[in-house]
Structure 1
């Protein structure tokens, strides 16, 4: 009898230990001042709520997507990071910023789920009278420095024949709304998930026009077409057609299938709730799955098959 009770007690203790086991995940996103860091915090809270504390996500600040990919070499099964899928492809091929830095660990990178894309916004004040890109000639535009939006904005000005024809303001992007309001600039370029906080502020306080690109211009940029729905910003009566750089959350094959499954499942189940608090999540849907151009983690694939999402051969 004593032996039976002892064995039963041991079994109960083991079961309780398994039930209370807690997975810990590190989520490396972006600088703490960026919208992508805020997204990381929201995902962390959503995963904790959705798994009832079964998975705890710690958000780490990052200096950028390239760093996130490079850290795969020294990280373990608990590492999740964000980056554009194109950077994963470049890392695996040892090209561009990853030239002479290739590593076998890069081949083990696998996607979990898409997050809001880096969306280009060309924001012009109503008072500037600018209605198309040609109208930007002779105007003062703020591109900022060092960011994806600044580099992309400069590329577009060149592609559209505006290089050297636009006055570039020496103002930090963080001061864009104030500079627009006091007439110091006619417009600014920013890239981030939509609705972008600085564009929301500019539209509400100054009145702006966010420029649309036509199909020919989008083709020139070689970026993904994205439509910002009418009504996203104050005074926006029509859809805005622009470009975007897709971004996704990744891990590696070191992560167990079960953990990858739970992370992916919980993310999608909590997405609508996150969208109530932060509208940028409302743009994340099945349509963004095609932006993941590389392989998806087997655990995440299991979930996508359960809910009937179509996956490409390249993603499998």
Structure 2
């Protein structure tokens, strides 16, 4: 490995994912968790729109403006099992959320400082990106006994650009273990260079009466890879997991008594690429995709 390329690059190029241990300090992780609970405490459960987040076929967000317009805001998405049939919470507020997204990197000083830090920009140099931009950020809770599974998927199914230069950056705010829902990958699956089943989630416009309404739909076939192909990726608190946009990955439900909080970003190369107008996520006048080198 040449001196100008980090030691994780070879593993990432081969497997489609890599781990950088001790990327964040325990103090940084604790600060992010405290900041998220501060943000969450501002949630008025009696007035907030209760959108359940799922990666399965029954996604409420496919037809939900609350999700579609969340790219430049901080919004709250609940676990399916946290709500009763009337949409009321069955558990405490701090145990009810699936994730908070999608612009924490811009609207929270704590997450912004980490997202645009010198060491995060160093990761982008490892990817050899000339004009990297953060397109979205999320805090994922995976709470004890209620944090649901994330079905097999490739990030590019939801966030397409041509040529594909899409990277997930996933920070373990807690230890991620086999019991509490660590990530699982199919090593090398990114090398096929295509979407399994040509699966995409597309933004479409429908005519409803005299109005045009934007909604989402799935096309293609849901991937169902053989479980034997997966490799578990348990990591310690503070580890950074780098994820190629084409690598197949998933996570299981949290069956333990311990949380598996994570902070994640998606980053693209802006130079020489075209962002799909069919993606659910689109830059806005209020928040264009935020260039890392300019911050």
State whether TM-score is above 0.5: no
Using the size of structure 2 for normalisation, the TM-score is: 0.24
**Higher RCO (C-alpha 8 Å, min separation 6):** 2
Question: By percentage of residues, which structure has more helix?
Answer: 1
Using the size of structure 1 for normalisation, the TM-score is: 0.23
Question: By percentage of residues, which structure has more strand?
Answer: 2
